[in-house]
Amino acid sequence: MSYYRAAASCFLLLVAVGSLIAQTGAPPRYELDPSWPKLPLGENWLTGGLGGMCIDNRGHVFVLNRQDVVAEDLDGARLAPPVIEFDPDGSVVRGWGDPTLLGDRLHDCHVDRQQNVWIVAAGTGYVQKYSITGELLLQIGESGSYDSSDGSRQGRPLNSDRAQFFLPAAIDVDPANGDIYVADGETSGGNQRIAVLDREGRFLRQWRLSRTEAERDIPALPHCLRLAGDLVYVCDRRADRIQVFDKMGSFVRNIHVPFEPMTSPAGRTSGIRGTAVVVAFSPEPEHGLMFVLDQNSNKVVVLDRQTGKRLSSFGGGPGSYPGQFTLPHGIGVDSEGNVYVAEQEGQRIQRFKIIQP
């Protein structure tokens, strides 16, 4: 973290951006905001890897801190709490969370319209709902249990029709009816499904990523999940694409994020982490943009949401200079169209301000 250094105006900005894209085909540009977040963080806090992030309807940003810092690295600093909330200016509002209760490998979050914070820890068999101040309101799935043949993490994944998970990756909530969508299967050895629950956590339905006969050997691990309108967008990380479904699980289409080979300064060619790891959307409904984290090139890829056409990209690395990324693992967009990227190995969050073309 040492690297950091109303509504009417938002509406007019979004209309202008959407109109320009529609008329000229030119997407906005994104420039690093070196003043966000404000320093120092909290009470001289130091974060570990940031496993995920989310933004609420007030423009407050929540980051998930995995706290994977050894004591020697603190060097007089204090270990930051697992969940950190920032206001739109980048000042810390609060931090909270019991790492034992939250679970292993914090991975994704979502803030619903009632300001509840939904959190997924990928090393567990459950998902959780918290108040904005950190009070546990609901847990779906039992602690210490997995949806496996023997209930353990070593068991065979079952993908069963129940509200118990096995290494979940992402979560989103349908604002229309409160249904909860969970990408269940962050890595090999766990489940491989998208599960849908009602607002009380009761199981409704599930489906898996789409595979053709020629693709049957590609692991179907859903690494991210976001709702947009009537569609569900899921990161098919092992196939370098986003898969789009309707809310009942019917496959709609693929949005490919082609791998562009690159070589690091050390001469190593990347290409093992995936080009479609996490996804976020711009707020304008008609001429929307899709932002995809490409961990192979450490970039944000900007796509047209309707056509899937690649429009631009920004970032790069791996590197610790401002504007570069080292294993980016969380992305979000606020109501003004600014883009936020949280880094796992870089241990920081950066904001990129939208610049009209």
pLDDT for 205-219, tens place per residue?
999 999 999 999 999
**What average pLDDT score do residues 259-267 get?**
56
The 180-184 sheet, strands edge to edge: 168-173, 180-184, 193-197, 203-207
pLDDT at 262 over 90: no
- In this predicted structure, the answer to whether residue 188 has a pLDDT above a threshold of 70 is yes
Determine the Cα–Cα distance for residues 124 and 167; give it in Å rounded to an integer: 5
Q: CA–CA separation, 32 vs 209, rounded Å?
A: 35
Asked whether residue 226 carries a pLDDT value surpassing 70, the answer given is yes
Report the pLDDT value the prediction gives residue 356, as an integer from 0 to 100.
83
Structure tokens at 297: 């090139």
Report pLDDT digits (tens) over 103-117.
999 999 999 999 999
Grade residue 284 by pLDDT with cuts at 50, 70 and 90: confident
Is 235's pLDDT higher than 80?
yes
What mean pLDDT is predicted for residues 24-49? 91
CA atoms lying within 13 Å on the CB side of residue 296:
20
Q: With 50 as the cut, is the pLDDT of residue 131 above it?
A: yes
| pLDDT of amino acid 285 | 60
**CB contact set of 63 (below 8 Å; sequence gap of 6+):** 47, 50, 52, 53, 83, 84, 86, 330, 342, 349
At residue 273, the pLDDT reads 86
3, 37 Cβ separation under 8 angstroms: no
User: What confidence category does residue 286 fall into, taking pLDDT thresholds of 50, 70 and 90?
Assistant: low
Which segment of 152-161, 172-181, 257-266 scores lowest on mean pLDDT? 257-266
- At residue 169, does pLDDT exceed 90? yes
| Closest among 278, 320, 269, 321 to 297, alpha carbons compared | 269
Exposure string for 304-320, b = 16+ CB within 10 A, e = fewer? bbeebebbebbbebbee
Average pLDDT of every residue of the chain: 90
Cis ω for the linkage preceding 318 (within 30 of 0)? yes
pLDDT at 239 over 50: yes
Report pLDDT for 261: 64
Share of the chain above pLDDT 90, in %: 83
pLDDT in tens, 175-185: 999 999 999 99
The sign of the dihedral angle between the CA atoms of 331, 345, 128, 207 is: positive
* Full set of structural domains in the chain with CATH: 7-355 (2.120.10.30)
Contact between 326 and 320 under an 8 Å Cβ cutoff? The reply is yes
Mean pLDDT of 225-235: 96
Q: Strand, coil or helix: what is 312? A: strand
Proportion of the chain above pLDDT 70, given as a percent: 89
Identify the band that residue 260 occupies on the pLDDT scale cut at 50, 70 and 90. confident
Residue of 349, 294, 328, 291 whose CA lies nearest to 30: 291
User: Is the pLDDT confidence value at 4 over 50?
Assistant: no
Residue pLDDT, tens place only, 292-303:
999 999 999 999
